[in-house]
Amino acid sequence: MAESTPPNPTTPATADGYLVTERLVKRFDEALAVDEVSLSIRKGEIFALLGSSGCGKSTLLRMLAGFEKPTSGRILLGGQDVAGLPPYERPVNMMFQSYALFPHLDIWENVAFGLKREGLPKPEIAQRVDEMLALVQLTPYARRKPHQLSGGQQQRVALARSLVKRPKLLLLDEPLGALDKKLREQTQFELVNIIEKVGVTCVMVTHDQEEAMTMASRIAVMSKGRVLQVGTPQQVYEYPANRFVADFIGNVNLFDGTLSVDETDRCAVACELGEVQVGHSISGTLGMKVSVAVRPEKLEISKTRPTGVLANLFTGQVKEIAYFGSYNTYIVAVPSGQRVKITEANTSRQDLSDITWEDQVFFWWDDCAGVVLRD
């Protein structure tokens, strides 16, 4: 049985917050870049700010770093309000997408640069740099120049330089954006392991939803300067708070309609497709406009009518088929004209599917697979 009401963690509690923003606002003349953002990030957490270009996530990160001054609001780090402090007085370090390594210095000197600027004793500098190079597995490359390393290795040098100063907060701005897809996927796990070993609190900015889902313990989805939802990757994916989050995270089918049934453990929505059954209530008003979100992988497809399926069973015609290696995608047109996306995992080397273009098919999903969205 599905939960009677899906979790919808849009606003986290602040009781255990190590980094807390309170109604943070940033205006550039008349443009509102960050609109009253309140977040609570736990100590040692890897937290992602996720959104498309221009949503305010980079401006928010720059305010945490001290490169931008908030128009209003507070930034608390370990209980101290740091909003008015310049960057060099904050226990914060930021790693940029470009890495910003010094090309004329070798790797050891790049990592040591910040410690030398602080005037630390030479033995302590040597100990910290050697420990950090060992952590990122670059000790054999200590005397090479940045251009002699691969993109992934340069990224680890930049991370080592950021962590060697032992900041209380590490900020990552599109940390893997300069890497190709395969190297980016490999480096995601390396980066998380290093950050977790150090135990530093980390906030990262990315527009790549896969990167956020892989690396972060929690995600804040942003749009137009506001945070629309905060939750774990599973919560944000399985229980989106609204249409924007559902559509931005992964692929989704959205069926618009009106609420026709709303009971303690179920509801139904009247759509052009037909009546859609959902395994949770929303405590709404009958007749109100809502949408049902169903992920493509939750749907099943067949040329023959399935037995024992009594709800959420519909028909349509296959218009597109795409092979992606690990799965197939079908685009099915229904009588109303809407196109429904269905993905099916390839569990065998042989193609056992007999579905082809223009076939009339049945498709269906369990009532627990859909989520009702109010906007």
For 138-158, the pLDDT digits (tens) are 999 999 999 999 888 888 899
CA 241 to chain centre: 14
Nearest Cα residue to 187 out of 168, 165, 159: 159
Q: Phi-psi category of 161—alpha, beta or left, where left has phi over 0 and alpha has psi -120 to 50?
A: alpha
- DSSP states of 192-256 as a string? HHHHHHHT-EEEEEES-HHHHHHH-SEEEEEETTEEEEEE-HHHHHHS-SSHHHHHHSS--EEEE
Nearest Cα residue to 270 out of 362, 308, 278: 278
Are 374 and 284 spatial neighbours (Cβ–Cβ below 8 Å)? yes
Considering the chain, what percentage of its residues have pLDDT values greater than 90? 72
Q: According to the model, what pLDDT value does residue 375 have?
A: 73
* Mean pLDDT (the chain, rounded): 90
Beta carbons within 10 angstroms of residue 289's beta carbon? 12
Q: According to the model, what pLDDT value does residue 187 have?
A: 79
Question: Does the structure show a pLDDT above 50 at 226?
Answer: yes
Q: According to the model, what pLDDT value does residue 97 have?
A: 73
Q: According to the model, what pLDDT value does residue 8 have?
A: 45
- DSSP states of 10-49 as a string? -S--STT-SEEEEEEEEEETTEEEEEEEEEEE-TT-EEEE
**β-strand partners of 371:** 293
For 61-88, the pLDDT digits (tens) are 999 999 999 999 999 999 999 999 999 8
Helical ranges in the chain per DSSP H: 57-65, 107-117, 122-135, 151-163, 181-198, 209-215, 233-238, 243-248
One-letter amino acid at 40 equals S
Confidence bin at 175 (pLDDT 50/70/90): confident
Q: According to the model, what pLDDT value does residue 181 have?
A: 74
